[in-house]
Structure 1
Amino acid sequence: MYLGLDLGTSSVKALLIDDAQQTVGSASADLTVERPHPGWSEQDPDSWIAATRSAIAKLRQTHASELAGLRGIGLSGHMHGATTIDKAGKLIRPCILWNDTRSHKEAADLDADPKFRQLTGNIVFPGFTAPKLKWMAVHEPENFARVDKVLLPKDYLRLWLAGEAISEMSDSAGTSWLDVGKRDWNDDLLAATGLVRGQMPALVEGTERAGALRAELAAELGLPAGIPIAGGAGDNAASACGMGTVADGQAFASLGTSGVLFAANNRYLPNPDSAVHAFCHALPGTWHQMGVILSATDALNWLAGITSADPATLTAELGEQLVAPGSVLFLPYLSGERTPHNDSAIRGGFAGLGHESDRVALTRAVIEGVSFAFRDSLAALAQAGTQLSRVTAIGGGSRSVYWLETLATVLGMPVDIPEGGDFGAAFGAARLGLIAAENADPFAICTPPATARTIDPNRELASAFDEAYSHYRALYPALKGATS
């Protein structure tokens, strides 16, 4: 048996698989996000531990005998979070999360230094880890002076599980401290934020062993002591391992809280000017590119909240037949945007509202607007040297066939729906736990699921969506000019 632990923004999920990679059971525990000021987004890392305890306890209630045969653990987690530890191993402050934009000035200052893009292959985004530490140095100097270790969220779980400060390449590539081509910390980048290598965790590949379960904790959790813990992966790379998106040219579109257009690469292909992320993958000798949309299903959830309807009701009201875009356009920049604009200050909006614009029209505009944002990412990936011919859809939004038909038509390519099953980050983490425990071939383990259905673009509506997309593209500079 192999356990995948996925630390998400809203919950921790524990997923158990057997040696045939069949899901045996799963459990989860909820988390909350604190927003003490506009643009801030924080979590108490000890709440991650409490939620992980709860998820494992729930799983043990129904699968105690299977957990007794556990042989490996893999970790996944939301990326970029700044989790700071002092010399006594105590938390210094709440973790500053990936969608926190307070460090936009510090990010711009670091990004103005050419060595950051040159060595990391990425723009220094406000959500990344390095600018958050620079923000701490400016605004919380007493806290910054106490920093002994900076850990990414899933690696704080590892510290609790194994007592060791270790990270891996895919997650660390999102800090702005990693030389992504060389797969190692860079001393000059660390020095630019007042840090040294000794304040960073040790680095391994995601498929390698990175600690073992402490005996005293194993007894408490009802798990075998000394179980190897894999390096694991950041959540998107872990999802790619779960989806089998590891070979060059394979891609998926994740319609989750945020949106990700993810492409696997067998070489390092940086092009930071396109605002595409170029990161290490979780498997040795592999990389990946991502276009990132900060509000995907989050935009639909927002609309559901203000219309007092759940998201499933909203999408059901659209019907089953794709129709041409309406007169209402939506820019999904509720938390700013990464690809292609790198603009943490921009905010979303509707355009073209009229007396006839009912709830269905607004829902359709949100679905189309997020899909147009994916098309922006597709164009950015092409600019960065990656041409895609099809994608596999995952995430909560992929349950809406209408949304997938919109996405296929907007992207102009087939969208595959995998067969039923859980192929997300927790499954990918469990696969990495299996690989590390058994020294298995990563490419033999991380295979894609069978395709249950393919949704092809609606060619009759393609030109109408192309025209709507051109109007959508014109709105960003207009909105930027009106609000900056």
Structure 2
Amino acid sequence: MYLGLDLGTSGVKALLIDGDQRVVASANGHLDVSRPHPGWSEQEPADWVRATEEALHALKASHSREIAAVKGIGLSGQMHGATLLGAGDEVLRPCILWNDTRSFREAAALDADPRFRKISGNIVFPGFTAPKLAWVKANEPKIFAQVRKVLLPKDYLRLWLTGEHISEMSDSAGTSWLDTGGRRWSPELLAATDLGEEHMPSLVEGTAPGGILRGSVAARWGMGGNVVVAGGAGDNAASAIGMGTVAEGRAFVSLGTSGVLFAANASYLPNPESAVHTFCHALPDTWHQMGVILSATDSLNWLCEITGRDAQELTAELGDVPKGPGKVTFLPYLSGERTPHNDAAIRGAFAGLGHESGRAALTQAVLEGVAFALRDNLEALRAAGTELARVTAIGGGSRSRYWLGIIADALGLAVEIPADGDFGAAFGAARLGLIAATSADPLAVCTPPATSATIEPDARLLPSYEDAWTRWRGLYPAIKGATT
């Protein structure tokens, strides 16, 4: 048996697979986010441990024999979080999360240093880890002086599981400290934030062993000895492992809290000016590019709160098949935006409202706004040298056929829907645990799922969606001064 642990923003998912990669069982532990000030987003690392134990205790209660047979564990996690540890591995402050934008000034200052884009291959975004440490140094100098290790969220779980300070390439590429082409820490970039390699965990590939489960933890869960913990992956790379998006030309669109357009690459293709993320993949000698929008299903969830209706009710009012763009336009910048604008201060907006604009019009505008933001990401990927023919849809938002139809029309790409199954980050993490424990061929393990349906773009609607996207793009500069 092999176990995947996915540390997300809203919870921890634990998923068991057998040697044939059949999903045996899964369980979840709940997490909350603290937002003490506008633009802030934090969690207590102790809550990650609690939520993991909650999920594992549930699995042990229902599948004790299978848990006892676990030989490998893989880790996936939310990226970019700054988990600061002191000399005794004590947590010095709440973790600053990926969607925290307080360090936008520090990010701009680091990004102005040409070494960061040259070595890391990426813009220094406010959500990345390095500017957060610069913010802590400027605003919490006593805490900064005590920092002995900086860990990413999933690697704090690894420390609890194994006692080791270890990370891997895909997650570390989102810190702004990694030489992404060389797949190693950059002493130059670390020094620019008054840190050194001694403050960083050691690095392994995502498919390699990254520690052995501590005996006390193994005993608590009823596991045997010598359980291998894989290097693992950041959440998007782990999802790609789960989806088999590992070969050049494979791509997926993720409709989760954030939205991601992800493409696997066989070589290192940085283009920071496009605002595309160029990161290491979880497999050796592979990389990936992705565009990221900060509010995908979060935009629909926001509308649900405003209207008092759930997402299924709202989308059901629209039918099953798009009939063309609506007259109301929505910009989904509820917490700023990454690709392509790198703008932490921009905020969302509706445009084109009239007396006739009812709830259904607002819902359609939200779905279209997210789709057009993903089209922006597609254009950024093209500018970075990546062309796509089709994408596979994953994430909670992909349950809406209407939304996937809009995305197919807005992108002009076929959208594939995988056959029923759990192919997300936890499944990808479990695959990495299997590979690390058995030395299996990664390409033989990381195969894509069968496709249950394909949504082709509607040729009749493509011109109207192209026109609507062009108008939509013109709104960002129009509202920039009015919402910041």
TM superposition shift of 1:353: 0.5
The answer to whether structure 1 residue 119 and structure 2 residue 119 are counterparts is yes
Mapped to 1, the partners of 2:89 and 2:128 lie a distance apart of 23
The answer to whether structure 1 residue 304 and structure 2 residue 304 are counterparts is yes
User: What percentage of residue pairs aligned between the two structures are identical?
Assistant: 67
1:402-421 matches, within 5 Å, as 402-421=402-421
Mapped to 2, the partners of 1:11 and 1:481 lie a distance apart of 36
Q: Which amino acid aligns with 2:334?
A: L
Mapped to 1, the partners of 2:59 and 2:263 lie a distance apart of 33
Q: Which amino acid aligns with 1:147?
A: V
What residue is the counterpart of 2:34 in the other structure? Answer: 34
What residue is the counterpart of 1:4 in the other structure? Answer: 4
What residue is the counterpart of 1:55 in the other structure? Answer: 55
TM superposition shift of 1:324: 1.3
Deviations 1:392-415 (A, max 9, x none): 000011000000000001110100
TM superposition shift of 1:220: 1.5
TM superposition shift of 1:481: 2.9
Whether contact under 8 Å (2:67, 2:221) holds in the other structure is: no
TM superposition shift of 1:162: 0.1
TM superposition shift of 1:292: 0.2
Mapped to 2, the partners of 1:224 and 1:133 lie a distance apart of 39
Mapped to 1, the partners of 2:361 and 2:283 lie a distance apart of 43
1:346-365 matches, within 5 Å, as 346-365=346-365
What residue is the counterpart of 1:288 in the other structure? Answer: 288
The 3-state SS of whatever aligns with 1:339 is coil
TM superposition shift of 1:39: 0.2
The answer to whether structure 1 residue 154 and structure 2 residue 163 are counterparts is no
What residue is the counterpart of 1:336 in the other structure? Answer: 336
Whether contact under 8 Å (2:11, 2:51) holds in the other structure is: yes
Mapped to 2, the partners of 1:153 and 1:162 lie a distance apart of 14
RMSD: 0.6
The 3-state SS of whatever aligns with 2:461 is helix
1:142-221 matches, within 5 Å, as 142-221=142-221
Q: Which amino acid aligns with 1:60?
A: K
What residue is the counterpart of 1:91 in the other structure? Answer: 91
Mapped to 2, the partners of 1:56 and 1:197 lie a distance apart of 33
Deviations 1:166-217 (A, max 9, x none): 0000000000000000000000100010101000000000000000000011
TM superposition shift of 1:95: 0.2
Mapped to 2, the partners of 1:250 and 1:441 lie a distance apart of 19
The 3-state SS of whatever aligns with 1:333 is coil
Structure 2, unaligned runs of 5 or more: none
Q: Which amino acid aligns with 2:278?
A: A
Q: Which amino acid aligns with 2:217?
A: L
What residue is the counterpart of 2:20 in the other structure? Answer: 20
Whether contact under 8 Å (2:321, 2:401) holds in the other structure is: no
Mapped to 1, the partners of 2:330 and 2:313 lie a distance apart of 19
TM superposition shift of 1:40: 0.1
Mapped to 1, the partners of 2:426 and 2:189 lie a distance apart of 31
Mapped to 2, the partners of 1:393 and 1:249 lie a distance apart of 15
The 3-state SS of whatever aligns with 1:421 is coil
Deviations 1:5-45 (A, max 9, x none): 00000000000000000000000011000000000000000
What residue is the counterpart of 2:229 in the other structure? Answer: 229
TM superposition shift of 1:226: 2.3
TM superposition shift of 1:224: 1.8
TM superposition shift of 1:483: 3.2
Mapped to 2, the partners of 1:41 and 1:221 lie a distance apart of 31
Length, aligned pairs only: 484
Mapped to 2, the partners of 1:127 and 1:142 lie a distance apart of 22
The 3-state SS of whatever aligns with 1:324 is coil
Q: Which amino acid aligns with 1:307?
A: T
What residue is the counterpart of 1:391 in the other structure? Answer: 391
Bigger shift: residues 219-228 or 381-390: 219-228
The 3-state SS of whatever aligns with 2:290 is strand
Structure 1, unaligned runs of 5 or more: none
TM-score, normalised to structure 1, is 0.99
What residue is the counterpart of 2:379 in the other structure? Answer: 379
Mapped to 1, the partners of 2:321 and 2:189 lie a distance apart of 51
Mapped to 1, the partners of 2:436 and 2:326 lie a distance apart of 51
What residue is the counterpart of 1:137 in the other structure? Answer: 137
What residue is the counterpart of 2:322 in the other structure? Answer: 322
Q: Which amino acid aligns with 1:322?
A: P
TM superposition shift of 1:274: 0.3
The 3-state SS of whatever aligns with 1:24 is strand
Q: Which amino acid aligns with 1:405?
A: G
Mapped to 1, the partners of 2:129 and 2:142 lie a distance apart of 18
Deviations 1:147-181 (A, max 9, x none): 00000000000000000000000000000000000
What residue is the counterpart of 2:443 in the other structure? Answer: 443
Bigger shift: residues 316-325 or 395-404: 316-325
Mapped to 2, the partners of 1:223 and 1:348 lie a distance apart of 49
Mapped to 1, the partners of 2:307 and 2:483 lie a distance apart of 25
Whether contact under 8 Å (2:280, 2:287) holds in the other structure is: yes
Mapped to 2, the partners of 1:483 and 1:20 lie a distance apart of 52
TM superposition shift of 1:475: 0.1
Deviations 1:111-150 (A, max 9, x none): 0000000000000000000000000000000000000000
Mapped to 2, the partners of 1:49 and 1:270 lie a distance apart of 35
The 3-state SS of whatever aligns with 2:76 is strand
Q: Which amino acid aligns with 2:468?
A: A
TM superposition shift of 1:428: 0.1
Whether contact under 8 Å (2:238, 2:429) holds in the other structure is: yes
